[in-house]
Amino acid sequence: MGILKNRITRTLLIVAGIYIWLYWVFRYPAVSLFTLLAPPVATINFSRNSRVRNTAISIFVVLWLFIFHYESTRHFYLSALAKRDLPKFKFLFPPAGWIMFFNVDETYSYVEVYGKMGESVHLIDPHDIFRTRTFGFDNIHRNILSNVGSGDHAAAFCRYLSWRLPSYEDFVVMAVYYPSLVKEPYRRRQEVLYRCGSPRKEKR
């Protein structure tokens, strides 16, 4: 009888704990990502019972997979099915998993910088422009140079180029654009975004 009471008490405590846990998750959606994952993470770190720890790890994995796939399908699938904007988990960056590859546009563009030295013009390697060591991934290969394509950054970027690469007399910042990599993979357009010291814009 005592064993049965202990089991009932333990079950009631577990149910009450889950209820309180879910209440905090839905009561404060701004921090739901943390309140949802905090109990299993705390159990994993502080419990000395291997069975309890393994259970907490399993719960954490299930919850994280749920969050991951929910955010990966929320915008394009789930919200469309529900016909309303479903809530998003805050503080989850990036807010997507494999959804990043869901809608890949057939167009592609990037920015090139040319330097003039005498009568010759050279394409400048972006690594020579920034001269930064990579940490985990290469921002240059992630098209970070496209940020300087805006005219708002022209003056600051031109000053930076003159300081970083003083051997060049002038610079031209160009956009390279592929209208359709699928239908016409070799069709390439170029557009002069701006010249350092010359605001003129031209196409070719």
Mean predicted lDDT score pLDDT of the chain: 80
Higher confidence at residue 22 or residue 96? 22
At residue 114, the pLDDT reads 94
At residue 204, the pLDDT reads 41
At residue 201, the pLDDT reads 40
Pair type for strands 170-178 and 108-117: antiparallel
Pair type for strands 170-178 and 189-195: antiparallel
At 68-88, the pLDDT tens digits run 888 878 877 888 898 988 888
Higher confidence at residue 164 or residue 1? 164
Average the pLDDT over 150-171 and give the result: 90
DSSP letters of the chain? -HHHHHHHHHHHHHHHHHHHHHHHHHH-GGGHHHHHHHHHHHHHHH---HHHHHHHHHHHHHHHHHHHHHHHHIIIIIHHHHTS-----TT-SSS-SGGGGTS--S-EEEEEEEEEETTEEEEPPHHHHH----BSB-TTTTTGGGGGGSGGGHHHHHHHHHHH-TT-SEEEEEEEEES-TTT-TT--EEEEEEETTB---EE-
Q: Give me the residue spans of the domains in the chain.
A: 2-98, 105-203
What are the tokens at 174?
């160009």
- The candidate with the shortest Cα–Cα distance to 56, out of 5, 7, 21, is 21
Question: In angstroms, what is the C-alpha Rg of the chain?
Answer: 27
pLDDT band, very low/low/confident/very high, at 115 (cuts 50, 70, 90): very high
- The candidate with the shortest Cα–Cα distance to 70, out of 86, 57, 94, is 86
Give the best-scoring range by mean pLDDT among 50-54, 92-96, 174-178, 182-186: 174-178
User: Does residue 172 register a pLDDT over 90?
Assistant: yes
At residue 160, the pLDDT reads 92
The structure tokens 């929320």 sit at 74
